[in-house]
Structure 1
Amino acid sequence: MQESTVTIKGQTTLPRQVREALGLKAGDRIRYLLLDDGEVRILKPRAVSSLSGALHRDGQPAVSLEDMEAAIAQGAGDDR
């Protein structure tokens, strides 16, 4: 378990092992995720471009935006 001290100004230094685990370098930003159980997670924000291909499945054909819009329009017209 890693620890650091909070200064009177509310600042702290992330331990080296934490910085390395997150791949942080000087000037990087970090994000704090506050959980309901009182825990806090420290995350390195990712660029939106890093999500490209995240939903790709081998053997699944690519679908165009026009095809998606047509499927949505068809589903909206279905009686439920």
Structure 2
Amino acid sequence: MRITTKGQVTIPEEIREAAGFGPGTEVDFVIGDDGLVRVIPSDRLRGERAASLQGAISRLRGSADVALPTDEIMALTRE
């Protein structure tokens, strides 16, 4: 494969079929720790990001150790 002057490359048909990439499929490019570039469907990456965010929220849930009334919490956020 050769990259065009516009930065484009054609993914061979057999690779597109094996990956399930059809016309209109949105993809992301990810560089792994090993330096290899991977082409993955955009929705997969969004799903991984969403799962990561959900995990962070779960870890933080219930971590407040000071009981404050709602009006005091709101006052603190406005400072």
TM-score, length of structure 2 as denominator length = 0.50
Larger helix proportion, structure 1 or 2?
Answer: 2
TM-score, length of structure 1 as denominator length = 0.49
